[in-house]
Amino acid sequence: MITVTKTFFPPIEEYKAYIDKIWESKWLTNNGDLTKELTGKLTEHLNANHLILMTNGTLPIQIALNAFAEQGEVITTPFSYVATTSSIVWEKCTPVFVDIHPEYLTIDETKIEQAITSKTTAILVTHVYGNPCDIEAIDAIARKYKLKVIYDAAHCFGVKYKNKPIFNYGDVSVCSFHATKLFHTGEGGALFCQDENTYNEMLYRHKFGHDGPLRFHGIGINAKISELQAAMGLSVLPYIDAIIQDRKRVCQLYDDLLDFKLLRRLKIRAHTEWNYSYYPIIFNSEAELLKTEKLLHSNEIVPRRYFYPSLSSLSYVNNTNDLKVSDDIAPRILCLPLYYGLENDNIKKISELISTALGKF
C-alpha cells in the first residue's frame, strides 16, 4: 500500500546509541541532556532566535493563545488542520474566519481588516503546506491595531522567506514534529519567538509555571518534551537535507507527469525557499476528486483530503462570514503520496491513474 506519507526512520543503531545515554543518565524528562542538545542543534540549523521544544505541535498554540488572546476574538483561517481552530475554542476564544487566497491558499490578507472588531485580540494564521502567508501585510495590520500574531507553521521546517527563517516572523511561530512531518520526534513540536521577554513567558508556561522547584512564575501547563522524543529528533536531524532533497525529486516528477490542463497546483509565494512538505492538487469538481480517489484506493494508493472540510463547518464554531473561496476549494483538493524513498515507478503509476480517472470526464 502507498500511503499519503511515511515516517522516516533513522538507522536503529543510531537511535539506540541515544537511548543508551538515557539509560545511563536515568533521566527521562525535565530538560535533560538530550533535550538541551536537540534545542541547541535545531537553533543552529534553523537559525532561530528563541526555541522551546514541546511534546506536540498543538500545546504551543494553546499556550500562546492563553498568553496573548485574553479570551477575545481571534482572526484565523478556515483552511487548516483542525488544531488551529480547536485551540482557539479550547482557550475560550472566538474564531473569526477570513477567506483564503485562491492560489496561495493562505489567508487573504486583504480581508483581515474588515473582520477586526473591538474584541479582536490576536491573529492566528497558517502557512499552508509550508507556503508563507503575506507576512508583511499581516504584521502591518497587527501593528496598526496592536494585535499579537501567532503563525501556525506546522508544515514549515526548513522554509525560508526572503532569506529569513520562517519561524523568525510574528510574535510566536509554532511547528509540529509529528511522525508524519519531514522532521519529527515521533510526537513533538516547538514554539519560536523573537524576544527575550516572550521567550521567558512561554518557557514558564510550558512547565507548569515553575520558576525553580518551589516557586511559580504564574499559570502554566505541562508541554515538556521527553528525552525519548529528543533522541528521535537527534537521530533524524542529520538526514534532514537528504529528506528534503528526495521530496523535491518526488514533487518535480509529479510536476512533469501530471496534466495541469486538467488540474491545478499550489502556487508558492515569491521569495520562498520551500520544503516540499505536501503535494496538493486541485480538481475542477468534487466529483472528479471522488472518482480519482476511488480509483487510487482500488490500486492500494491512499491520498488524503487535506484540508477538508472547511473549519468553519465544525459543530463548535459559529461562522457568519463569507468564505466562498475556502468553501469552494476544500472539497476539491487532494494531497498525493509524498515521502522520502517514494519510488519513481509508483509516482508514475499514481500520475497515470489520475489521468485515467480524469479522462472519463
pLDDT tens over the chain, length 361 residues: 999 999 999 999 999 999 999 999 999 999 999 999 999 999 999 999 999 999 999 999 999 999 999 999 999 999 999 999 999 999 999 999 999 999 999 999 999 999 999 999 999 999 999 999 999 999 999 999 999 999 999 999 999 999 999 999 999 999 999 999 999 999 999 999 999 999 999 999 999 988 888 788 899 999 999 999 999 999 999 999 999 999 999 999 999 999 999 999 999 999 999 999 999 999 999 999 999 999 999 999 999 999 999 999 999 999 999 999 999 999 999 999 999 999 999 999 999 999 999 996 5
Q: Which of 239, 164, 190, 231 is nearest to 61 (CA)?
A: 190
**What pTM value is reported for the model?**
0.96
Identify whether the C-beta of residue 161 lies closer than 8 Å to the C-beta of residue 134: no
Q: Quick one: cell of 84?
A: 488551529
Beta strands per DSSP E along 140-293: 148-152, 160-161, 164-165, 172-176, 189-193, 264-265, 272-273, 280-282
CA distance 239 to 116: 43
Identify whether the C-beta of residue 35 lies closer than 8 Å to the C-beta of residue 57: no
Q: Are strands 73-76 and 148-152 parallel, antiparallel or unpaired?
A: unpaired
